[in-house]
Structure 1
Amino acid sequence: MKKIKSLIAILPLLILLFSACGKVDTYTPPNSGIFGKVVDAQTGLPLESRSPNGGSIRLLQQDPKYPSPGPIDIILQAKTNYNAELLFAGTYKVVPRDGPFQYFGDTVKAVLPPNGKTQVDFKVDPYYRIAASVVDSTFTYTITAPTSNTSKMQEIIFLVGKSPILDESVSSNTTGMYINLWKKSVSGVADNTILGISGTYNIGWVTTHLPKGEYYFRVGARTSVARYNYSPVIKATVH
């Protein structure tokens, strides 16, 4: 009899518990996305950069319920394209930032649909455009700049490696280490004696302590206010 009374006493609690478990969760997980590219406004080509730390795309959601939204930053890839998924559907302001370029446009309004992706591309001015070639271990390079770049050039760097992933973050010019980065300070040199003029630089292969053979090469340049712009990666043989 006591067991029956106990079961009767807890029966309402069991009914309440199972009712709660039977409720449908109405939360919709994020299922939207955005993708695109950042290109040189003059050439229409992707910029030569690095990733990460080669710039980002910033999203700010526009929703009256959230008047001060936190920014969402999407990393630009080395060829200045980007892609992000698992975002909430809605309206966003989108802008490129913090890269080796200047953007003179307005923020772009982008509507991200449920279960879909929106493409947003940007045209920017890189600080520098760099063309380069390599014969043996000697670079020949030309650096140009758009008229919008009024910043002074600070440094030119020369890179070599076994991998085509080449930027200042994976290179070293520290004595005693695998040396594959050489710096040329030009902060005290007038830009008009550098820009548009073909230059050469020999790295002195013996300083690398590497065997001769096939390697990848790259030239970079930066101002005091921006990250490095790069030449395309070059594959060449050291004889």
Structure 2
Amino acid sequence: MIRKRIMTSLLAGLILTSCSKIDNYVAPNGGIRGKLIDKITNEGLQAEQPNGFTVKLFEKGGKLNSPIAFQGKPDGTFENAFVFQNEYKVLVTEGAFFPIDTAVITIGASTENNFEVVPFLAITDATVTPAAGKVTVNYRLKRAQVGDKIVERKVLVSRVPTVNNSVFDFKAQTELAAVSDTDILAGMFSDEVTGLSSGQTYYVRIAARTNNPLKKYNYSKIFTVKVP
């Protein structure tokens, strides 16, 4: 019995000693931020969140199959302020744009790096006009590089500032699979969303999709309107 008590006391002492050690690992002291620039509009690439696009960091000397991955923001910006200062291969991927080359970037305390991307589609010449109980949205679709078939366009209306293909309260949707891309790109579209309440503020966004493997949408910026 005495021997058992002695062993128990020794074990407890070892556990307490191990818990008292100070964690002296160096914390990440670097950061990277930037923006995806839409080559058609020369503005930030409009995306949805989450899963609009992914930034992957492959650290020099690290495992190539274990990147640091994080999501971009709806306005095309991205930031990770919790990485080690080092050289990285940076891959921007999984968005509604054509693949771009991997960049090699030395990340310091706060490193900024923008990337130009060619979107599958861009929404241009967009106007949103409110009227009693509705909004009318005019716009064009444009592209700089031929890709998958254009299959869908829609206008999304939300009661909250977040609005995308997953978050909306009203929509007008048109299937385009049977229309030639030539005709789509030459046209000016006008969509009407009805059933809106007078005096209510709404957030309006245009979305369009090609038949890309990830089923990603390209978006316009968000328009804020008040229905009279």
Matched, 1:238 2:224: no
The residue that corresponds to 1:167 in the other structure is 164
**Alignment partner of 1:212: what SS?**
coil
TM-score under structure 1 length normalisation: 0.77
In structure 1, the gaps of 5 or more residues are 1-13, 172-178
Q: Which runs of 5+ in 2 are unaligned?
A: 1-12
Partners in 2 of 1:127 and 1:224 — Cα distance? 10
Matched residues, percent identical? 29
TM-score by length of 2: 0.81
RMSD: 2.6
Alignment of 1:1-239 (within 5 A): 26-63=24-61, 66-104=62-100, 106-113=101-108, 116-131=109-124, 132-135=126-129, 136=131, 137-146=135-144, 148-171=145-168, 179-203=169-193, 205=194, 208=195, 210-213=196-199, 214-225=201-212, 226-239=215-228
Relative to structure 1, is the Cα distance of residues 79 and 22 closer, same or farther in structure 2, using a 3 angstrom cutoff?
A: closer
Deviations 1:203-226 (A, max 9, x none): 2x2xx3x42233221110011114
Deviation sequence 1:80-129 (CA, Å, 0-9, x none): 1111022122211001101111133x21111123xx12222100001111
Paired residues, number = 209
**Matching residue's letter, 1:129:** A
Contact preservation (8 Å) 2:158, 2:167: no
Aligned residue identity for 1:74:
F
Alpha carbons of structure 1 residues 71 and 202: separation in structure 2 relative to 1, 3 Å: same
- Cα distance in 1, alignment partners of residues 159 and 21 from structure 2: 59
Superposed displacement of residue 23, structure 1: 7.7
The answer to whether the 8 Å contact 1:168/1:181 transfers is: no
1:177-230 per-position Cα deviation (integer Å, ceiling 9, x unaligned): xx4123211111111111142111122x2xx3x422332211100111141111
Letter in 1 for 2:102: T
Q: Which runs of 4+ in 1 moved over 4 A?
A: 19-26
Q: Greater Rg, structure 1 or structure 2? A: 1
